[in-house]
A and B are shown apart, each in its own frame.
Chain A
Amino acid sequence: MINLLSNLESGIINANVINMANVYLSGLSKKFGGVTVVDKVDVDIAHGEFIVLVGPSGCGKSTTLRMIAGLEDLTEGDIRIGDQNVNFVQPKDRDVAMVFQNYALYPHMNVYKNISISLSMRGVNRVEIDRRVKEAAAILGLEDLLKRLPKQLSGGQRQRVAMGRAIVRQPAVFLFDEPLSNLDAKLRVQMRTEIKKIHQRVATTIIYVTHDQTEAMTLADRIVVMNEGKIEQVGPPQQLYDEPKTKFVASFIGSPGMNFVGCEVVKERTMAFIKISSDVLIPLPEKYLSALDNLVGRKLELGFRPEHMTEPRSYDHGHEFEVDIDVLEPLGNDTMVYFDFGGQSCCARVLPSYATNSGTSMALELDLSMIHLVDSASNLIVRASGHA
């Protein structure tokens, strides 16, 4: 594994050379025939920001990226890079560089030529081309591979070459289309770190598409969660994790996803409860008390993450349950416990030592300060005010 950090710290690529650019997407839509694949997408991306578009397959994230690159015509809306509207600008004139999922290296050219081709086509002089290629190769640890053909490279090396091809152009915006999905798990983690380091060094705007929410969480300054062509939520990773706005975001961000159980809020004298089934009542957390009247009688779902349902830890706002275990999944540092809860299969995260000693049932504690209520009709997370 190359020591990227030392390469980066040696100041190989000068961040000042690279153009800075804000990217504005407003009302961006794309229809294929009668099918809308991207529906009125609005995002403002600051220069130097690392934005990740994340969502399930077919949610329109790659199409959005391709529209920014100019590889796909847009049906409606505007794309601005810097102060230029690029709706009808050729890809070569957009000052963007894209890295593809399958690398798309030119098989008849060696690594050096693959990286330098865009510069030589633009008439950059040979000395400058050589300097830039060698700088990019140094950053990416490709110095010894410059004479090789793509077929002689491993997956990780090919990915580096694809990145090198983008870096040498010194574009205003880097576009990454699921660049790590063809790599094995270990290499994916390594490359993730490298991409992050490169971004810190070159400080260019990066728009990155992935369906892997772990990748999104670790790389992004802000995440754009997409579903069925629409934006569900935009925000920093931690905010999306802690304060999801929709059931979809809550279930998509976090691994494993959030558990959801049908429930209703009931009032009994001076107390308020979340009723999951006739025999399961949970005290309504304080944050929802001000909205009690709004919640009673509504069809709701209780949402909680596996990491907030654990072995008893005496939380300040905890509630203990006895559950029947369906499946135990040891992961080494944790064990996932699958159990039936209010007629739904749910998942909790416990210490391995705790799981080993349990029989067919187990005591678990839910941290009530971390639960969410979802309005079943709109699939929106209920805010403390009681409104979805």
Chain B
Amino acid sequence: MTEPPLQTRRKLTTIDYICFGLVGAIIAYAVYRVSDVLVYNWNWSRVLNFVIYYDEENARYVPNLLLKGIATTLRLAFWATIVAAIIGLLMGFMRTSKNLAMRMISRCYVELIRNIPPVVFIFIFYFFLSGQLMPLIGLDDIDKNGAFVSSDIFFTLFGDPKLFSNFVAGALCLALFEGAYITEIVRAGIQSVPKGQWEAARAVGLSPLDVLGNIIFPQAVRKILPPLAGQFITLIKDSAIVSLISIQELTFLATEVASSTTKVFETWIIVGAMYFIICYSFAALFAHLEKRALKARR
């Protein structure tokens, strides 16, 4: 006989109060150490000005470096996710292929990326991409004053046109890195579909490609989407790594703000809070969408 599910308690017990007390004590101790031992002079307003400031000339609030950094981070995450999803889908299909060569190529890609530190990977690929690939595809020679390039749409999608090739290189680096993890998500999704589904479809006359596109993938998508959403949030956090190659996203700009203001704690606490708000918002959104999808499926 199966046991009834554990009920989640609504009332606080003595153990709960002890736990809260311990957490509170740790926080209080940390605050004490920072204020008394470090003898640190806090100045939040100075750093907050780098988030948003009042433009007296136009009499309105204007986003400053850190908010611009967030915009770049989100752009990076958006494009890197799209490219990573394409790479992941392709490699994921290859990973489940009957063809040995395809399986080996995708496995090498996954293992290579999973077993190289991200920093090392980013450096290698960035210098290869910016030094070899960008000139090859002519991104360096893009007309910075062209109608589309100088438009608001372009700026919204890609940021400053002067830094476009730099942005693309960073997004591709991130995409290649995250693509390996998406590959594994796709592989697991495809392999989670019962073998009988492949066989049933093939036994009533569908070609392997039809089976994959019409029978397997629509079922796999349901398993793939939740971890893919999680991977998008991970990618937002991982995007901080491209600050090492001078992409002007949130972490890179935070480093500049911290060094110019010497307000290290304030800067990084604010940046941490910004990352938290973005990631938590997306997590809540995806959880809500997943709930709705589950309801619709019932």
Binding site for B on A (CB under 8 A): 69-71, 90-92, 96-98, 100, 102, 104-108, 117-118, 121-122, 162, 165-166, 169, 171, 175
Give the residue name and chain of the A residue nearest to B216 (CB).
Answer: A106
Given A106-B197, A121-B210: A97 in contact with B205 (beta carbons within 8 A): yes
**Chain A proximity mask over B228-254: 1 for CB below 8 Å, otherwise 0:** 000000000000000000000000000
Given A104-B194, A121-B210: A96 in contact with B215 (beta carbons within 8 A): no
Q: Are A104 and B210 neighbours in the complex by a CB distance under 8 Å? A: no
Binding site for A on B (CB under 8 A): 194, 196-197, 199-207, 210, 214-215, 218-219, 222
Jot down 29 A-B pairs with beta carbons below 8 A, ordered by A: A69-B203, A70-B202, A70-B203, A71-B202, A91-B205, A92-B207, A97-B203, A97-B205, A98-B199, A98-B203, A98-B204, A100-B196, A100-B200, A100-B203, A104-B197, A106-B215, A117-B204, A117-B214, A118-B204, A118-B206, A121-B205, A121-B206, A121-B207, A121-B214, A165-B204, A166-B204, A169-B204, A169-B205, A175-B203
Give the residue name and chain of the A residue nearest to B219 (CB).
Answer: A108
The minimal Cβ–Cβ distance linking B178 to chain A, given in whole angstroms, is 27
User: Max chain A CB contacts within 10 Å: which of B196, B200, B210, B218?
Assistant: B200
Alpha-carbon distance between A92 and B204 when the two chains are bound, in angstroms? 7
Chain A residues with Cβ under 8 A from B222's Cβ? 108
Chain B residues with Cβ under 8 A from A165's Cβ? 200, 204
Alpha-carbon distance between A107 and B196 when the two chains are bound, in angstroms? 12
Alpha-carbon distance between A70 and B214 when the two chains are bound, in angstroms? 20
Chain B residues with Cβ under 8 A from A69's Cβ? 203
Chain B residues with Cβ under 8 A from A162's Cβ? 200
Chain B residues with Cβ under 8 A from A70's Cβ? 202-203
Chain B residues with Cβ under 8 A from A104's Cβ? 194, 196-197, 199-200
Alpha-carbon distance between A185 and B194 when the two chains are bound, in angstroms? 27
Given A104-B194, A108-B218, A121-B214: A97 in contact with B204 (beta carbons within 8 A): yes
Chain A residues with Cβ under 8 A from B210's Cβ? 121
Give the residue name and chain of the B residue nearest to A165 (CB).
Answer: B204
Chain A residues with Cβ under 8 A from B207's Cβ? 90, 92, 121
Give the residue name and chain of the A residue nearest to B213 (CB).
Answer: A121
